[in-house]
Amino acid sequence: MSQKILIVEDDHDILGLLTDMLLAEGYDVTGLSYTDSILKSVAIHAPDLVMLDFLLAGVNGGELCHELKNNPDTAWIPVIMLSAFPRVLDSLGNYGSDVFIAKPFNIHEVVAKVKDCLEQRMEHA
């Protein structure tokens, strides 16, 4: 069974690129451009890893990450934060994310970090 990745990214080009790239690596990928409840989305899609854009329309992806990491049912899920504004993250903290990737990103770096997060999760499961 392939590992599931949930991506929340409001830039359709980036969402499409990440989805295609991770599908090609054999992952089961769900891409959302919006979520009104990250906990509900995670309950529906049951991902092994979540990727969140930091600046989403109407919501801060960091707050979504914080919500996941502070819920005992979802705290184990690795979260990768993506942002074109890494200095914002420096000043505000990482919200508990496991990995931060700056945009524009290197496709090979993203794939490597996804694999690392999922391998570490399996080691601690």
Architecture in CATH of 4-124: 3-Layer(aba) Sandwich (3.40)
Q: What is the pLDDT of residue 58?
A: 82
Coil, strand or helix at 29: strand
CB distance 100 to 62 below 8 Å: no
Q: Hey, how many other C-beta atoms are within 10 angstroms of the C-beta on 88? A: 13
Residue 112 has pLDDT above 90, yes or no: yes
- pLDDT digit string, tens, across residues 14-38: 999 999 999 999 999 999 999 989 9
CA angle 58/62/64 to nearest 5° reads: 70
Judge contact between 34 and 10, C-beta under 8 A.
yes
* Vertex 110: Cα angle to 109 and 111 (nearest 5): 90
Which range has highest mean pLDDT (1-5, 38-42, 95-99, 100-104)? Answer: 38-42
Residues in the chain: 125
Give the integer Cα–Cα distance in Å for 7 and 52.
6
pTM of the model: 0.94
CA gap 37, 95 in Å, rounded = 17
Q: What is the pLDDT of residue 113?
A: 97
Residue 89: predicted pLDDT: 60
